[in-house]
Structure 1
Amino acid sequence: MSLFGSINTAISGLSAQSSAFGNISDNVANSQTVGYKRVDTSFIDYLTTSTPSQNQPGSVVAQPDYINNIQGAITQTDNPLGLAITGQGFFAVSETAGQVNGLPTFNAQQFYTRAGDFTMDKNGYLVNSAGQYLNGWSVNPQTGVADQNALSPIQISQTADNPVATSNVTLSANLPATPASGTATASSPISSQITVYDALGTSHVVNLNWVQNSANDWTVSIDAPDDTGGGTLGSAEVQFGAASANSVPAGTIGNITSATGSVTTSGYSAGQAATLQFSADFGSGTQPITLNLGTYGQTAGVTQYADTAYSLRGLTQNGVPPGAFSGVSMQTNGDVVVNYNNGQSRVIGQVPVVTFNNANALQRQNGQAFTSTTESGTPLAEAAGSNGAGTLVTGSVENSNVDIATEFSQLIVSQQAYSANAKVVTTADQLLQTTINMKN
């Protein structure tokens, strides 16, 4: 019985080593596959009889040992949409189930992968080289908050960015305490220009004309040549330091008063914004604009200090012209950002990182993908870098976690083990033949 048992044991060894060869072959073949996770081999001993006085040969079975939680090398690429995960976790992806009206429909089954070589397809979806569609959380365009309750394929819209009418202008400048001769007068005011946008995104020039009334007292007149009412919008008196009769440091705005035309002002309030409001009509209806000149009693904004010429320090406004789609970029926090040629950008989605308690128990699928199992635990979608989830590396991909040198070493060991098992079979066969020949 022991000779036949030895043959059966050796044959199981041949089968087990064949399985190991298969895993090694799979690993070597996919050593350059993005996001591939290697499969090692574990050998399990099965007994027939084993007591203190007797041991009969058993068998060995090869069992795959999935190495899904070991990271491969991160490599930079020239693909701005490439993503790699440093640490634990996977990308959530969907696979197609068909098409309707030229657009893909998706399998209800959720898949997971580390293959982050994403590019944008003709329909605006982010798809990796295995044809899987990147899933993410949608972002509310008004609040910028991601809806973390649902994952869906991310689709990039290449529509234009809508214009935004200017409603706020912030000016930072210094009016000269002693203007050059012949300037800052009614006939030769100090002028500065502001570019604003109407509701259609068309730019218009608004002129601020400054006239010095006395040492620390100025009048600013607001003029808009494109205004349908003729251009002159109104004026206000801006008082600095002691001229305002308010307790503010010299050279800082102490009051804005004497508003005319469409110009209005809320007057002095210590520590509050020094603003005035005016309205213009560029053909799209009345457009109210707030001009922020700084803070009462502080040096931020418009001041009046020693100089002979007007000095502009900063000018901003919140209007935006229309913009065309110029590209999409990925952020390390998972934000998917659409960029426009007007300098604006908008977050349209966020890519989470999905973690499992036992990632090595995931079920392998085609295309370096996995599906969850009872043993893997429940998938948990987390913001990148939070609650144990890995961080994202943009413009990069994760290579296979296969080490060729290790695979070749295991190949040699498996080859020798296979040969040894084959030798056991031939030796047992010779012993049986000798036993059979004994009757002759």
Structure 2
Amino acid sequence: MSLYGMMRTGASGMEAQVNRLSTVGENIANANTTGYKKASTEFSSLILPTSGSSYNSGAVDSKTRYGISQQGSTVTSTSKTDLAINGNGFFVVSDNNGTNFLTRAGGFVQNNVGELVNTAGFKLMGYKYVEGVDPVQTVNGFGGMEPINLASTGLSAKASTKGTMAANLPSGDAVGQGYTTSLSIFDTQGNARLMDFNYKKTGTNTWTLEVKDRTTGNDMLSPATNTMTFDSATGKLLTGGSITLVGSVLGTPIAGSGAQVENIVVDLSKTTQLGFKFSPDGGTVDGNAPSRIKDVTISSDGVVSVTYENNKIEPRYRIGMANVQSPDNLTPQVGNVYSQSIDSGVIVTGFANIGNFGAIMSGALEASNVDLAGELTDMISSQRSYTANSKVFQTGSDLLDILVNLKR
């Protein structure tokens, strides 16, 4: 073994311990960083070939690894837009250039234009919510995602387009008996309009239904009468289970306001004819009167909804999630985010609570997975190892001095 080789080995050991101390320092500095994943330094030996009785000392190689797949503890928060993932997966976020990244840091707040951004300024990405339609996902990309924006545009009104109405019609009534109930619907300006539902028995197990606008008296059905027939044994509705209130009957637009009534499909399928009194259920209808946004809610499956002052809930987005085959091999970037690497595998997108993706917890944050006690222990161990390696280097230097002084 040459003296120079001995010194190089000692220097290699010192450099490896410096790298380890660097990761320890970074972990301690980020012990309270939301969603931070600890870094660790792993060592491997570098062996040099020997010849005869001469031994060539090798060195040590250090490699930094990240515990990205290790989940941190969950801490509660007072903000509903603070999010944590209980299980696998990452939030998809975007920077100002439109580049997408993965992160577990879910401390999101609205910026000046209503977008949900985390502490580092990355925008939370998701899909536009369409009721009854699952967003189209790109298995190996982020196609279809856009920044989630919850900006309030002042008062918001929505016209009714569908509803339900159910009632029990007494089976023992005589032909000609009639009943009336009403359903309140909304026009395009959010004005409430009452629709009177007039039931009349016209024969055995047969009733007719007419719907009239209470203000104008106009018939809302075309044709004006809907015939409903019932099963003689069970009293269940057989025919006439759906009607359409024709908005154009009231004029397009409604005279004097510019507001329009849309065509409204009303489901009557739960109407029955049983030996009980007339019992309407009051009906339901979509749409809403003018109202301001007062709250935001996020469900465990990632549906982001706004709640208006009239307690109407409107789903707007569904948060997109992503994962890779080997999360620990993702490449860390500035801002506590990660990008895909060759070793991490292909990015797969999905939704919370589906498949291998975990549930989203609103009003919670994922804490750093750093163990301070372990980091301080590693710090002491690295300090001692660094000192020992410096002694090897110093001893080699002293021996080299002795060798040089032999000439004297």
TM-score (norm 1): 0.73
Q: Give the match's secondary structure for 2:15.
A: helix
State the Cα distance separating 1:31 from its structure 2 match: 1.1
Which residues in structure 2 correspond to 1:178-197 (within 5 Å)? 192-197=181-186
Paired amino acid for 1:349: Y
Residue among 299, 308, 314 paired with 1:331:
299
Residue among 136, 149, 164 paired with 2:159:
164
Aligned to 1:301: 271
- Residues 430 and 176 of structure 1, relative CA distance in 2, 3 Å threshold: same
Residue among 379, 382, 397 paired with 2:350:
382
Q: Give the match's secondary structure for 2:288.
A: coil
- 1:204 has 2:189 as partner: no
Q: Contact 2:157–2:188 at 8 Å: present in 1 too?
A: no
- Residues 304 and 140 of structure 1, relative CA distance in 2, 3 Å threshold: closer
Which segments of 5 or more consecutive residues in structure 1 lack a partner in the other structure?
97-105, 180-184, 242-246, 254-270, 295-299
Sequence identity (%): 25
Which segments of 5 or more consecutive residues in structure 2 lack a partner in the other structure?
none
What CA deviation, in whole Å up to 9, does each residue of 1:35-78 have, x standing for no partner?
11211112232334435743222222322123222222222322
State the Cα distance separating 1:169 from its structure 2 match: 4.6
What CA deviation, in whole Å up to 9, does each residue of 1:283-339 have, x standing for no partner?
467877677665xxxxx53545356xx544453334533443333332322333333
State the Cα distance separating 1:122 from its structure 2 match: 1.2
State the Cα distance separating 1:10 from its structure 2 match: 1.4
Q: Contact 1:139–1:147 at 8 Å: present in 2 too?
A: no
108-117 vs 12-21, which moves further: 108-117
Q: Give the match's secondary structure for 2:18.
A: helix
- 1:76 has 2:44 as partner: no
Aligned residue pairs: how many? 394
Q: Give the match's secondary structure for 1:305.
A: coil
Which residues in structure 2 correspond to 1:257-406 (within 5 Å)? 271-273=238-240, 281=250, 283=255, 294=269, 300-303=270-273, 305=275, 311-386=279-354, 388-406=356-374
Aligned to 1:152: 146
Which whole-Å CA distance do the structure 1 matches of 2:169 and 2:57 have between them? 97
Q: Give the match's secondary structure for 1:158.
A: coil
Paired amino acid for 2:68: N
TM-score (norm 2): 0.78
Q: Root-mean-square deviation (CA), in Å?
A: 4.1
- 1:248 has 2:216 as partner: no
Paired amino acid for 2:50: S
Q: Contact 2:195–2:212 at 8 Å: present in 1 too?
A: yes
The structure whose Rg is larger is: 1
Q: Contact 2:137–2:349 at 8 Å: present in 1 too?
A: no
- Residues 422 and 292 of structure 1, relative CA distance in 2, 3 Å threshold: closer
Of the two structures, which has the highest relative contact order with CA contacts closer than 8 Å and spacing of 6 or more?
2
Paired amino acid for 1:197: F
